[in-house]
């Protein structure tokens, strides 16, 4: 790796190590000279990587005080990199539930707004998302990528800058959550019919119907996750009682 690639590579490796607990307040990151040797990097490249992680809330650095890991509540969980690193951890039902709860709070509103304000380009992207999902059903596209493309298109169709800012976060987390919920359902494809209800309502300008269709879609996913986790908790409890 060279230049910016080296800097991003260092930030990625350090980010994963921080989020997965290799480094923490109780186990500080090595000093600058050690990290330079570890990554074969100059001090300037390392410092740029530290700046990136500081901006994401994972690190803090002060002259003469060094660099230290910030507590998790300081991390920018809406940053796609941070979320991606969090997903490097052992599977966490709690994280999946929290993410789906955020989707439930955000995406129905975006769908409602999209039905009111989406222009020709945004509507074309939503149609294309559904067409890709239909192609995936035939084996001609990737099921996961096409599903993500649809949800991102709806966020962008809202023409709301704040919803649009969540596209990177949403795409990163959906890659994890869709795989998990599909595994729970025992299928590899999302319900095209349910997604098409959202799309049809947006394209027809039916704002209330669009929001409700999106809410139903996400609520079903959340109910599935919670039901599965409750079942697993019952099994763990039964297993503990049997010992």
Give the domain CATH number at 222: 1.20.120.530
Burial 55-67 (b: 16+ CB within 10 A, else e): ebbbbeeeeeeeb
Residues 102 and 189 in one domain: yes
> Per-residue confidence of the chain (243 residues) as pLDDT tens digits?
455 688 999 999 999 999 988 998 888 899 889 999 998 889 999 999 999 999 999 999 887 778 899 999 999 988 989 988 887 776 677 888 888 999 999 999 999 999 999 999 999 999 999 999 999 999 999 989 999 999 999 999 999 999 999 999 888 888 888 877 777 766 555 689 999 999 999 999 999 999 999 999 999 989 988 888 777 777 777 776 555
Residues 111 and 166 in one domain: yes
Total domain count, the chain: 2
Whether 83 is covered by a domain: the verdict is no
- Is pTM beyond 0.85? Reply is no
Which residue segment(s) compose the domain that 46 sits in?
3-74
Integer CA distances (angstroms), 162 to 29, 36, 141, 159, in order: 34, 38, 30, 9
| Positive or negative: CA dihedral 160, 161, 162, 167 | positive
Residues 70 and 95 in one domain: no
- Beta-ladder partners of 69: 59
Residues 70 and 98 in one domain: no
Q: From CA 227, how far away is CA 9, in angstroms rounded? A: 39
């Amino acid at each position: 790796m060279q230049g910016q690639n080296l800097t991003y590579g260092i930030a990625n490796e350090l980010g994963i190590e921080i989020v997965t607990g290799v480094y923490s307040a109780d186990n500080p990151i090595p000093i600058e000279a050690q990290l330079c040797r570890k990554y074969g990097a100059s001090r300037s490249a390392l410092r740029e990587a530290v700046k990136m992680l500081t901006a994401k809330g994972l690190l803090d650095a002060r002259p003469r005080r060094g660099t230290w890991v910030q507590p998790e509540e300081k991390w920018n969980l809406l940053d796609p990199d941070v979320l991606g690193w969090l997903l490097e951890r052992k599977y966490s039902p709690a994280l999946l539930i929290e993410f789906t709860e955020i989707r439930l709070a955000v995406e129905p509103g975006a769908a409602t707004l999209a039905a009111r304000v989406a222009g020709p380009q945004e509507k074309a992207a939503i149609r294309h998302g559904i067409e890709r999902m239909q192609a995936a059903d035939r084996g001609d596209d990737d099921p996961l990528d096409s599903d993500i493309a649809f949800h991102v298109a709806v966020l962008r169709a809202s023409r709301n800058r704040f919803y649009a800012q969540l596209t990177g976060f949403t795409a990163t987390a959906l890659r994890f959550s869709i795989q998990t919920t599909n595994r729970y359902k025992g299928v590899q494809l999302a319900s095209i019919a349910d997604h098409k209800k959202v799309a049809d309502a947006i394209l027809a300008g039916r704002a209330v119907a669009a929001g409700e269709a999106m809410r139903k879609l996400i609520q079903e996913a959340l109910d599935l996750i919670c039901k599965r986790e409750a079942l697993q908790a019952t099994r763990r409890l039964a297993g503990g009682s049997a010992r």
